Structure 1
Amino acid sequence: MKLTIIGYWGGYPKKNAASSGYLLEHDGFHLLIDCGSGVLAKLQNKLEPEDIDAVLISHYHPDHIADIGVLQHARLIQGFLGKEFPALPIYGHHYNQNEFTKLTYKEITKGFAYDPNGVLKVGPFQVTFIKTDHPVPCYAMRIEADGKVLVYTADSSFKEEFIEFSKDADLLLCECNLYGNQNGKPAGHMNSIEAGRFAKRAAVKQLVLTHLPHYGNLSDLVHEASAEYTGIISLAEEFQTITL
């Protein structure tokens, strides 16, 4: 598996950047995980919109879905220009029917509801889910292919069930919207110390902090997390690529 970080800001994209969006590739299959504001513009540095094979959505906050509409129009326009491709499957939960219905657009994209209690097979990937602690229904994902495991927390405060769900993952892509002295529980977000402790207890091989705050010294997040977790830690960066 190869992960490329397209956007990593929490809430809204900073200037010339993007909020949540991650490209996961394996065996020639291109899976876009979340599609927040600015993701489509940034994605085109790596992949054309018509070359995406599937999209997987954690929840329906704008910083995770804002560019779904422009992705749909990009594929529509490319169709007008003569390119042929099947309807793009977009997988999301059905607990917000108003937003779920928007995943289907003409014959361009088709929304599919995943079963959070089941296993979703998308191309070469096998995905299981766990509900996060967030103000709206949101699902973390454990994505497996050829014996490698990526866990993406999406948005959540820490919950004990994450430990077993993420056990021994090759990569933990963990939200870290707050610094160690802040309590993220009311907002449904994790701080740096919680992220580090999570990585340590789950015995993951690598930790990437994402969904980052717009203030403060971001390197402090790594320093604070490293007080708990002594493995490889990095901040998410635009176009950062990690091969598992």
Structure 2
Amino acid sequence: MRFTVLGGCGAWPAAGQACSGYVVEHEGFSVLVDPGYATLPRLLERMGAADVDAVLVTHGHPDHCADLNPLLRARALRPSSGTSSDRVPALPVYAPPGALDAVLALDKPRMLAGSFALHDLAPGVPQELGPFRLDVFDLPHHVPNAGLRLTGGGRVIACTGDTGPAAELAELARSADLLVAEATYPVHVPEEDAPYLSSALDAGRTAAAGGAARLLLTHLWPDTPAEPALAAAAESYDGDLAVAVGGLTVELP
């Protein structure tokens, strides 16, 4: 299984960077997770728009889903010879109910008609997604947010989306080979955001509690240094630790 970071900025993309966006590949199947601002150009450096087999969106904030629109345009509007072999199948897109209403409303329905098939993410109901098993966790954020756990080939990748404190995080991270955890702040989350966002310190505790083999901190404020976040996470987590930056790839053989 291969995990590739397209971007890891929270809120808006820094110069030369992108917001949250990741690709998980296994047995020739490619899953795009959270196509946030500026992720599509990074994706297209690695594969064609038609090569994406499914999209998972943790929640409806634009730094996690805005580039779904140009991805669907690239699939729906690509020149076609008219032959059946040239047609791109409808892209399965999974998100919390209603999370993508705004981004899908950017174009008239007929423009993107047939380019995607929208599915609701259902916490507690495992799904088969190509070669993966997908487990979904309901996690607290300003809007409905889905923690994602992808299992394939005996390996597990877990993603928190954006989340505040929750008992479910330990189960999401349980024995994960890679935990991708939101860490907007290094140590202290402002009081008004404390129920809805996490720090690197929180992420380290979650990884330690779940026994995750690797921890990737993501969603840091743009243009902030990685060192304070890494140091905070390392206070409670002594495993493999890094910050998500575009181009980073993790191989899980």
Is the TM-score greater than 0.5? yes
Q: Which moved more, 1:72-81 or 1:153-162?
A: 72-81
**Is the 2:140–2:195 Cα contact (8 Å) retained in structure 1?**
no
**Is the 2:80–2:87 Cα contact (8 Å) retained in structure 1?**
no
Correspondent of 2:122 among 107, 115, 122: 115
- Alignment of 1:233 onto 2:236: no
Q: 1:194 to 1:186 in 2, by over 3 A?
A: closer
Select the structure with the greater relative contact order (CA < 8 A; seq sep ≥ 6). Answer: 2
Count matched residues: 244
- The separation in 1 between residues aligned to 2:67 and 2:235, in whole angstroms, is 36
Task: State the AA in 2 paired with 1:203.
Answer: G
**Is the 2:123–2:137 Cα contact (8 Å) retained in structure 1?**
yes
Note the alpha carbon deviations across 1:168-227, whole angstroms, 9 max, x for none: 111101111001133474361111111111111111101000111125422111011111
**Map of 2:6 onto structure 1:** 6
Q: Which moved more, 1:181-190 or 1:234-243?
A: 181-190
Correspondent of 2:226 among 206, 218, 231: 218
Task: State the AA in 2 paired with 1:207.
Answer: L
Correspondent of 1:202 among 210, 213, 222: 210
Correspondent of 1:90 among 76, 93, 114: 93
Note the alpha carbon deviations across 1:68-107, whole angstroms, 9 max, x for none: 1111111123244664221111111214473486598311
Q: Which moved more, 1:71-80 or 1:60-69?
A: 71-80
Q: 1:94 to 1:42 in 2, by over 3 A?
A: same
**Map of 2:157 onto structure 1:** 150
TM-score normalised by L of structure 1 = 0.93
TM-score normalised by L of structure 2 = 0.90
- The separation in 2 between residues aligned to 1:5 and 1:98, in whole angstroms, is 25
Q: How does 1:34-113 map to 2 (within 5 A)?
A: 34-80=34-80, 83-96=86-99, 98-99=101-102, 105-113=112-120
* Pairwise CA distance, 1:146: 1.5
* Pairwise CA distance, 1:121: 1.2
5+ residue gaps, structure 2, are none
**Is the 2:9–2:220 Cα contact (8 Å) retained in structure 1?**
yes
Root-mean-square deviation over aligned CA pairs: 2.0
Identity %: 30
Correspondent of 2:197 among 171, 189, 192: 189
Task: State the AA in 1 paired with 2:95.
Answer: G
5+ residue gaps, structure 1, are none
